[in-house]
Amino acid sequence: MKTSGGFSLLAVLAALQVGTAQAADPGIPATWQEHKTSFNYFGITSNYSCSGMEGKVRQLLVLLGARKDSVHVNAGACGVHDMPFGHALNVDVRFSTLEPVDPAAAPGATPPVAAQWTAVDIDPHRPNWMGEGDCELIEQLRDFVAKNLASRNLDYRATCTPHEIGVNTFAVHGEFLKAPTT
């Protein structure tokens, strides 16, 4: 049966059912946890200016679930005019991410946020601000991501070859705990 708009009645009912199921999903109870950490970047193939590194790390953290207003990134060991000093940068970061909690385990604590596991895919073409030259950065952030961000079903691959920019050299796929979008 077709409606006047060309959609089948069955498709409209299915869409309504999915919307109702999503609205009824209470989410995962989580609280914001602040992280203060640093990492050293050493790039043989790709160099970043301090502001370039800060921007890229900020974008990645927000994509992976950090609260946008909490992300502070400071890259150091930069030379004159924001050019990298050699191939190495020290990067200090402060940010907040959601961590699952059991509300019954901490009565009277800050009320939890109803977070969602959200699929994230990163590769040299997705999102559009990533590129083949970011392989070394992704490779060096593996432990940082594992230690600081709540994830599940994580598939993290980076196979970088020094002095070469290859095709499809990295991919990060998984679900990260994020605040619901409004």
Output the pLDDT for position 108: 66
In a domain, 1, yes or no: no
In a domain, 152, yes or no: yes
If one compares 12 and 141, the residue with the highest pLDDT of the two is 141
Are 144 and 39 within 8 A, CB to CB?
A: yes
If one compares 96 and 167, the residue with the highest pLDDT of the two is 96
In a domain, 162, yes or no: yes
Q: What is the pTM of this model?
A: 0.79
In a domain, 45, yes or no: yes
pLDDT in tens, 31-43: 999 999 999 998 8
Look at the chain and report how many structural domains it folds into. Answer: 1
Distance between CA atoms of residues 72 and 126, nearest Å: 23
Give the position of tokens 């800060």: 54
In a domain, 85, yes or no: yes
Output the pLDDT for position 102: 81
Distance between CA atoms of residues 156 and 162, nearest Å: 19
Distance between CA atoms of residues 174 and 119, nearest Å: 6
In a domain, 23, yes or no: no
In a domain, 51, yes or no: yes
- Whether residue 12 is predicted with pLDDT greater than 60 in this model: the reply is no
pLDDT in tens, 117-144: 999 999 999 999 999 999 999 999 999 9
Distance between CA atoms of residues 62 and 175, nearest Å: 14
* Domain encompassing residue 128: 31-104+113-178
- Whether residue 46 is predicted with pLDDT greater than 80 in this model: the reply is yes
16 forms beta bridges with none
Average pLDDT on 65-89 reads 77
In a domain, 150, yes or no: yes
- Per-residue confidence at 106, pLDDT binned at 50, 70, 90? low
User: Hey, what are 2's tokens?
Assistant: 């077709």
Rank 2-11, 25-34, 75-84, 107-116 by mean pLDDT and report only the highest: 25-34
